[in-house]
Amino acid sequence: MAGSEEEARYSRQLYVLGGGARRLPESAVLVSGLRGTGAQVATALVLAGTGRVVLHDCDAACTADRTHQFLLGESDLGQNRAKVSERALAELNPHVVVETHSGELSEAFLASFQVVVLTESPLEEQLRVGDFCHAQGISFIVADTKGLAGQLFCDFGECFVIDDPEEGDPASAAVQHISQGNPGVVTCTGTENFQDGDLVIFSGVQGMTELNGQEPVPVHVLDTSRLEIGDTSSFSPYRCGGLVSRVQRPEECSHEPLCQALEKPKIQMANTEDLPRSLSLHAAFRALHAFRRERGRLPRPRAPADAERVLELARSLGAQQAPLDEDIVLAFASVSAGDLCPVAAVVGALAAQEVLKAITRKFQPLNQWLYFDALECLALPGAAELTETDCAPRGSRYDGQIAVFGANFQERLGHQKYLVVGAGAIGCELLKNFAMMGLAAGPDGELIITDMDTIALSNLHRQLLYRSADISEPKSVVAAAAVQRMNPDVRVTPHLNEVGPATEMLYSDNFFRHLDGVASALDTIEARTYLERRCLRCHTPLVDSGTEGTQGNVLPMVPFLTKPLVQASTPKDGTFPLCTLRYFPRTIQHTLHWARDEFEGLFQLPAEQVNQFMEDPDFLKQQQPSKVLKQVWDSLRERPRDWQDCVHWARRRWQSYYHDTIIQLLHNYPPEHETSPGVPFWAGDRSCPHALTFNPDNDTHLDYVLAAAHLFAQVHRVPPCRGRAAIQATLRDVVLPPFAPQEGLQIPLTEELAEESQVPTDHRHLTQIIQDLVQWRQELVGDEEAQAPLMEPVPFEKDNNVHIDFITAASNLRAENYGISPASWLMSKQIAGRIVPAIITTTAAVAGLACLEVYKLVWGCQDLSCYRNSNINLSTCLLLRVQPQPAPTYRYGGREWSCWDRLEMQGVGADGQAVTVQEVLDWLQRTHGWTVTMLLCGDDVLYDSKAAAETRAQQQAQRLSEVSRDARMLQQQDLELLYICEGEDAEAEDTGPPLLCSLP
């Protein structure tokens, strides 16, 4: 049955954290330091549902905090940072206790926490608290950001047990055969997911049932399709079916206390060649602590003397494990007084994920240091020449950002015109960062947010701009209001539109060309690919971001500089062969896909067809397929009078699916059936099913009837009753006629036969169906047209509990038919709803990395080496940032072209009308010397030199405004033409750069 409200709220997170997430409500975490990094850590923990989060800060909020501390409002200035942050955080999640502490961090106080996080903390305090936590077995984390760099340290004690070290479900494979022998050999698909020594369990095996439920056994991988297990010589012969699954084994890790780890750091990185850089940053952070003790302040922005002193202190720290990169230390020190929201977002999100690891014991903790920097930003043209005067404080909320990029850059940020597509998890984090950065906060700036979705309960654990009171409200409208609360100067406009082919009249080429950039926060490959094509066409910079679970990526697309984003082709969402779903399922994915199809076939399509029949008097004259007419006839014939009828209908459906259909299948192909002498039919990919017997006391049987009856009642507008006891009593009295298998019924055994097979049309029965439909329509409508739909179609909704109740029960009953292990309600929801696992930490980190690329775009940077493609995996705490690939080139017409190049032609003649096709041909000849043999607009041939003379003349005289009847193309104003020219040689592409013609 359906999960609780908490489960609905955190469902996407549960898919990431697994069972360990159950520990979150009982945990207590201290977050010390409530500037930007601490605010990000605390926010992520509150959204994730940590039971008790205590905020510690002794200082008052100041104007400069508002560069990066997104929990503060204008009226909070001068008040204790922890206190004012508590109020904002408490609104995020009513299930979390948020408290504050402004005293010292005494041992007695620290002892009540499972995890302690220090941010913005002096080294002396880090060492003292770290020693105590290590001795007491309290997980200890240090997170710090300075300017364009960040530092993360973890100490989870000397013996920390990770219950579930890997992301995703354990590896599994469908069994095809198991030999009797010592050792036994398992033939299966997908052995590449197993390694020697893995422990595995078996389920759903038929014949050699001794393996089912056995204690985990080790395997030896023989090759790509065979695993060796223990002695099976005494087991029963294997018949068919089964699943072999790897068992997750707990792992241990050991951490040193900070006092030891500081001197001999273990630094985690994506590439070993990054070690010298990380070691130099390690020394730079230590030197910065020493500078602050010595001077009582951080180095002044862009002050050479202060930076040199930090370098001297770094040199004096003693022997390094690698040579000190002095340029890195100087660059770090020169902007270390700066505060950037994107950097705080990245480091704070990584730190929050480590807290969740400590509590849930899910994933490998960081071992033990991680350093992050975006110092490449200092190489941007204009940034390298900044002086101490350029970066001096102005008493502005942006002083932390001005310290890094200067006052003129801050003004440039205010002028930006940006489009954010998607106001979900990544979108919320992008908008929060943009508000702090001051993007579009100038008099001519503009920030457009568009999202057609509304806020749901399941959004609230990772979309920080929304609250419970906002549920069912438009995301973009609520997000825009939140942005203005964070920064009233940002000029933000919400839209409720999808950016796609249907809205190209609104989001035209001119619209995209007037933007300074686009930030993509979309959750489908199709939408992301479409947006990429539009930005490529209009030469608009794009920052594309995406996440799945703990993994995420950021890809900047810069006109003429980077290779356009390459999106994978859209996967077929769990499509399987039809005969597999109907007759030979082997996995729970098969049964869930079947259940999802049944949902649509029972509660949506028939109602739509009936409504169409009732509303359209000509429905029967339109040569409807006999299958459709039969469905309409069945739906009207089965119309329930009351709730009891709905229950009886559901009970008959249960009998048909889980008993009668299986009996018919086994009648056609008995368990002993052979495809040829000695070759059993039920073997390999075919598991022999067994029929179920209905039992009203069986919870799954009752769940199916209850959910199916409820949905059937909704379709027919009958008031439902969900009392289980009453339904059980009704079901005990239901007596169904015995089922007799049909002789000669054909069951297709291949995909091709399944698609081709059709029940022969019984014309006499079809005639009776049509007569009945005519009569029923007359009785229901009379001489009046139908005023309201007779039935209510019910589309599948993944966040509707009754829908998931039906899917779970329907799938698990079918799984029982075939000996497949059942799925939980939550797992069924994920697979059937095609839900992408999501968590706030990943989205926050990805949005932070995306905003670092936005900084570069705002500078107008045309140096490829300054940009970064980023990939993160928070389950292993890995962050990989690499230079994007350059824009590819090709040769055409004797010269080299970039993939960004296109030809532009004014498609307006001297008479003010659209030019003719001949004028286009003349322009290409005159401008580029190309003789065109074929001109195309999409799939339409506008000119073909091989056509007959009369046809060519007609083509040449046609105006461009007449060549496309697609209004959408004309609304874009630019018609895109492709051409093939005479004399193209082998090295040329089929066509040259596209030709864009601006129409009147």
Instruction: Cite the active site residues.
Output: 579
> Would you call the peptide bond into 257 cis, given omega within 30 degrees of 0 as the criterion?
no
Whether the CA torsion 915, 917, 923, 924 is positive or negative: it is positive
**Beta-sheet pairing, 115-119 with 28-32:** parallel
The two structure tokens encoding residue 766: 């079809």
Q: Any alpha helices (H) in 49-122, and if so which ranges? A: 81-92, 107-110
The tokens for 952 are 């060519």
DSSP character at residue 659: I
Beta-strand relationship, 679-680 and 995-998 = unpaired
CA 704 to chain centroid, in Å, comes to 31
Output the CA–CA distances (angstroms, integers) from residue 235 to 180, 186, 238, in the order listed.
7, 13, 8
Cα–Cα distance, 82 to 33 (Å, whole number): 8
For helices 626-637 and 605-615, give the axis angle rounded to 10 degrees. Answer: 90
HSE-CB at 164 with a 13 A cutoff on CA atoms is 18
Residue the block writes with tokens 């339109």:
622
What's the token pair of residue 606? 């028939």
Q: Going by DSSP bridges, is the β-strand pair 551-557/869-873 parallel, antiparallel, or unpaired?
A: antiparallel
Q: Indicate if the alpha-carbon torsion angle 333, 337, 340, 344 is positive or negative.
A: positive
267 DSSP β-pair partners:
369
Q: Can you list the alpha helix ranges (DSSP code H) found in 458-587?
A: 475-486, 509-513, 525-538, 578-582
How far is residue 295 CA from its own chain's centroid? 47
Handedness of CA 170, 175, 180, 184 (dihedral sign): negative
Pair type for strands 932-937 and 974-981: antiparallel
Name every residue whose Cβ is closer than 8 Å to that of residue 729 and which is 6 or more positions away in sequence: none
Cβ neighbours of residue 608 under 8 Å, at least 6 residues apart?
Answer: 793
Please name the residue that has the structure tokens 């039935």.
791
Query: Among 563, 570, 545, which Cα is nearest to 555's?
Result: 545
> Tokens 């001068």 — which residue?
78
- Using DSSP bridges, classify how beta strands 115-119 and 139-146 pair: parallel, antiparallel or unpaired: parallel
Distance CA 966, CA 490 (A): 38
Distances (CA, A) of 446 to 429, 491, 521, 849: 18, 5, 18, 22
CB 619 within 8 A of CB 633: no
Residues for the chain: how many in total?
1000
Query: In degrees rounded to 5, what are phi and psi of residue 228?
Result: -100, 130
Q: What are the residues facing 735 on neighbouring strands?
A: none
Task: Give the Cβ contact number of residue 284 at 10 Å.
Answer: 29
CA 722, CA 727: separation in Å to the nearest integer? 8
Residues sharing a CB contact under 8 Å with residue 943, sequence separation 6 or more, in sequence order: 917, 921, 932, 934, 935, 952, 955, 956
What is the crossing angle of helices 475-486 and 425-437, to 10°? 30
Among candidate residues 447, 448, 449, 440, the one with its CA nearest the CA of residue 415: 440
Contact 436, 487 (CB under 8 A): yes
Kindly list the distances between the CA atom of residue 601 and the CA atoms of 79, 109, 609, 671, in Å, as whole numbers in the listed order: 60, 60, 11, 30
Give the separation between CA 238 and CA 186, rounded to whole angstroms.
10
